[in-house]
Amino acid sequence: MDAFTEAGGNFVDTADIYSKWARNNRGGVSEEIIGRWMRDRGNRGEMVVATKVRAQMWPGPDGEGLGRQHIIAAVEGSLRRLQTDYIDLYQSHSFDAAVPIEETMSAFDDLVRAGKVRAVGASNYPAWRLAQALATSETHGWARYDTVQPHYNLVKRGEFERELRPLCEHSEVAVLPYSPLASGFLTGKYGRGVALPRSARASGVARRYFEDDVAWRTLGSADEIAKVHGKSVSQVAIAWLLCQPVITAPIIGANSADQLKESLGAIDLRLSATEVKRLNNASGGSYSWND
């Protein structure tokens, strides 16, 4: 995180549940780490902090979801763990079909009016639910979803591009795609006939992409373009996202300062219109945008 801010970064994205699925992790640990780091550095005012609500944080009917009671209780927990009195961007982690959208957006609006949240966003929302939420907020004059976090990268395009992309463009919703490197497939460390690393993550990558000829074709094109620029495959994958007008910022993850530096190397990579078209064609997408 120090390396990130030293490089000019200021936006940090997390969630209240991170990383409850890990052994001996109660959830909320990521927020606690970020909170301690901001306290020790005294840089809260310089950071844009985003977190999420939706997943189950405690037992009982109000321990999860996007109902008013859970949202109001969950934000207090996040504020406490982050050691702050406001959250810059508070996001629905995924949509909740069991709760009326009016209840969810009304609760978010109350948090914005109270100054506990500055803006709200959505993650893992289908286009129909995002459109419904935007219309509800407009009708009532409530805070709206200003951002959306889709799962979007060079080898996973259709889910975002078919419906969410045109909606975001029309409604001017900022797009913060996660998994820009397809869980590591777009780093260049995987290859046909190359021994698979022994990890659950690698096994998941293999299940999703190793039988997908389009994914391998896309990886090959990205690798060739990377060599022309003296860059890595991962930098090409991130640069492809950065050159799209609808994308505000891809969400990158790093386990070390070196990994972070590698991803940030995409910032100064400018793909030509021909290279973008080549990547689009290789990945099977039907959408294009201006270079």
CB 276 within 8 A of CB 240: yes
Rounded to 10 degrees, the C-alpha dihedral 30/78/75/69 comes to: 80
Rounded CA separation 251/127 (Å): 20
Rounded CA separation 156/283 (Å): 8
| Closest C-alpha among 15, 43, 44, 41 to residue 30 | 15
Rounded CA separation 80/70 (Å): 15
Residue 291 has pLDDT above 50, yes or no: no
All structural domains of the chain: 1-149 (3.20.20.100), 181-246+256-284 (no CATH)
Contacting residues for 52 by C-beta, under 8 A, at least 6 apart? 14, 15, 16, 17, 90, 91, 92, 93, 123
CB 235 within 8 A of CB 163: no
What are the Cα distances from residue 198, in Å, to 193, 195, 205, 221? Answer: 15, 9, 12, 26
Instruction: Label residue 285 by pLDDT band (50, 70, 90).
Output: low
Predicted pLDDT at 189: 85
**Residue 145 annotated to the active site:** no
Rounded CA separation 45/47 (Å): 6
Q: What is the largest CA-CA distance in the chain?
A: 57
Residue 289 has pLDDT above 60, yes or no: no
Q: pLDDT digit string (tens) for 52-71?
A: 999 999 998 889 999 999 99
Residue 51 has pLDDT above 90, yes or no: yes
Question: What residues pair up with 145 in beta bridges, in sequence order?
Answer: 120
- 199 or 226: which carries more pLDDT confidence? 226
Q: pLDDT digit string (tens) for 175-204?
A: 999 999 999 999 988 888 777 777 777 888
For residue 130, how many other CB atoms are within 10 A of its CB?
A: 24
Q: What is the mean pLDDT of residues 3-32?
A: 95
In the chain, the DSSP E strands lie at: 11-13, 48-53, 87-92, 117-123, 145-149, 174-175
Predicted pLDDT at 290: 46
Rounded CA separation 2/117 (Å): 25
Q: Give the burial class of 233: count Cβ atoms within 10 A of its Cβ; 0-12 exposed, 13-18 middle, 19 or more buried.
A: buried
What are the Cα distances from residue 148, in Å, to 42, 106, 121, 203? Answer: 29, 18, 6, 28
Specify the pTM.
0.94
Cis peptide bond N-terminal to 19, omega within 30:
yes
Backbone phi and psi for residue 55, each to the nearest 5 degrees, phi listed first: -70, 165
Rounded CA separation 91/53 (Å): 6
Candidates 18, 90, 152, 190; catalytic one: 18
Rounded CA separation 242/239 (Å): 5
